[in-house]
Structure 1
Amino acid sequence: MKSDPASARAGRPRDPHIDASVLRATLAVLDDIGYGRLTLEEVARRADTTKPAIYRRWRTRQHLVLDALASRLGGAEAPDTGCTLCDLNEGINVFVAAFRRIPPGVLAPLFADCSAVPELRDAFMRTLFDPPRAAVARMLDNAQARGDLRGDIDRDLALDMLGSLVHYRVLFGHAPITADDVQHAVEALLGGIAADYPALVAHSQDVMSGDHLHP
């Protein structure tokens, strides 16, 4: 998802080849030297273009980096197998794997740069955090429609509880996120909001053919 459909400046028609080259160059710079040392001059050099050409497409360095990261993360799909425990476990692991493709030490300083400017903060959230949150929301909605969740759950709170594990550890990098961490977080949440948690566990064990998730 692009950071802002209006982030490019008006002017002559954009050459999509230049756009793609600049995004690739931006990712290469992030991988090589990180966000703090990224300059538009270096991106332009690697993309074989000019700094003015970049500014015609992206208003700020932050908009450029957000679009580059979005191109690496790809879309946020919501699994829908009919197994609530399986779907949440798989879906969140997919998001974790996507965020691992962002070089360490990029998200925290990027967020610090964006947080003081409302437009940039909104672009950061819209680009990097809203898509996976919406996908998890769809999984919870599907589960509730199947009758797997209680009717009185606070969906936003459930989303925050699941998302906080990924967001907090990705932003601050104080601990890794393992598949076991995701599994335990999903189990802990569903243990509190499922209509019949033991039935969900039994169903997941049947679906996964012996790969056990703990009740």
Structure 2
Amino acid sequence: MDVRKGAGAGRPRDPGIDTAVLTAAGRQLDDRGFQALSFESVARTAHTTRAAIYRRWPTRTHLALAVVAWRLDVPPAPDTGCTLCDLAEGMKVFLSAFRTLRPDVLNAIHVACANDEELRAEYRRIVDEPPRAVVTGLLQRAQRRGDLREDVDIGSLLDILNAVIHHRAVVGATHLSNDEAEALIEILMRGAASDYERLVAHSRTIDIQHSLPL
């Protein structure tokens, strides 16, 4: 089941209720965590009924995933011609998917999805696939430009990026920082780039151009 679709398919949806419920549920997740998420409390805060929420999201796991989907805004893949610049922006997309919620909340949702095939698929669709698609696009362009070695497997690079970010998000006390993300890009690109020092020099040229007065 798509978490954005309710169980009552024959009844017209009121987008105002959806927004109010997702806002209230998001605040509860931020303030009290996943285990304290309560349909009764959300309904009271959103000025609706528990039945209205159940029609849209049958369990609190579905509701929590809907909050992530509602908050996550994935922009198109950047294409500046500078591979390291694009990767830095692409990493922000990856990180934003996990930063929608506190690590402990995201971990609890991940655990709640683990033994349910439908929910696991929804978790992947909402959290993993959108940022992965963005970074896939920019890595493919980098490979076509000759910035990545021809023998580099893009899927494996993505798996490494996702594994590190996801591990910190669901196990660590804090999300991966921007500085840590940049260090991760350097580690990966030193092995994957056809000429890493050339890419660094190019990115520095771009930075200088952007800092020049118009």
CA distance in 1, matches of 2:9, 2:2: 16
Q: Say whether the 8 Å CA contact 1:9–1:59 is kept in structure 2.
A: no
State the Cα distance separating 1:140 from its structure 2 match.
Answer: 0.5
Whole-Å separation in 1 of the counterparts to 2:44 and 2:174: 35
Confirm whether residue 93 of structure 1 aligns to residue 92 of structure 2. yes
Write the distance in 2 (CA, Å) between the matches of 1:156 and 1:44. Answer: 42
SS in 2 for 1:208: helix
Take 2:138 and 2:49, find their aligned partners in 1: how far apart are those partners?
A: 44
Q: Which moved more, 1:6-15 or 1:137-146?
A: 6-15
* 2:9 aligned counterpart, secondary structure: coil
Gaps of 5+ in 1: none
Q: Which amino acid aligns with 1:148?
A: D
1:155 maps to amino acid: I
**1:31-42 matched pairs, under 5 angstroms:** 31-42=30-41
Query: In 1, are the aligned partners of 2:78 and 2:89 still within 8 Å (CA)?
Result: yes
User: Counterpart of 1:38 in structure 2: which amino acid?
Assistant: L
Residue 209 of structure 1 aligns with which residue?
A: 208
Given that residues 149 and 192 in structure 2 are in contact (C-alpha distance below 8 angstroms), is that contact kept between their aligned partners in structure 1? yes
CA 1:105–1:53 in structure 2 vs 1: closer, same or farther (change >3 Å)? same
1:30 match: 29
* Residues 98 and 106, structure 2, Cα contact 8 Å, conserved in 1: no
Q: Distance between the aligned counterparts of 1:67 and 1:206, measured in 2?
A: 42
Spell out structure 1 runs of 4+ moving beyond 6 A: none
- Residue 155 of structure 1 is matched in structure 2 by 154
The CA deviation string for residues 52-102 of structure 1, in whole angstroms up to 9 with x for no partner, is 111111222211111111211222432211111111112213432453341
Taking the TM superposition and a 5 Å limit, the aligned residue runs for 1:131-210 are 131-174=130-173, 176-209=175-208
Q: Which runs of 5+ in 2 are unaligned?
A: none
Using the aligned pairs only, state the percent identity.
47
Residue identity opposite 1:74 in structure 2:
D
Give a deviation string over 1:99-136, Cα, whole Å, max 9, x none: 33413411111111111000011111111111111111
The answer to whether the 8 Å contact 1:11/1:56 transfers is no
Q: Corresponding residue for 1:128?
A: 127
SS in 2 for 1:9: coil
Once the two structures are superposed, what CA deviation does each residue of 1:144-165 show, in whole Å capped at 9, x if it has no partner?
A: 1212111111111110112222
Matched residue, 1:53: 52
Matched AA of 2:79: D
- TM-score if structure 2 supplies the norm length? 0.90
Counterpart secondary structure, 1:86: helix
Q: 1:198 to 1:191 in 2, by over 3 A?
A: same
In 2: Cα distance, 1:5 partner to 1:46 partner: 20
What TM-score do the two structures reach when normalised by structure 1? Answer: 0.89
Render the CA deviation track for 1:153-194: whole Å, top value 9, x for unaligned. 111111011222211111112455222211111111111111
Output the CA distance in 2 between the equivalents of 1:136 and 1:70: 18
Q: How does 1:103-118 map to 2 (within 5 A)?
A: 103-118=102-117
Matched, 1:84 2:83: yes
The verdict on how the C-alpha distance between 1:31 and 1:5 changes in structure 2, with shifts beyond 3 A counting, is closer
Change (3 A) 1:154 1:7: farther
* Separation of aligned partners in 2, 1:140 and 1:157: 12
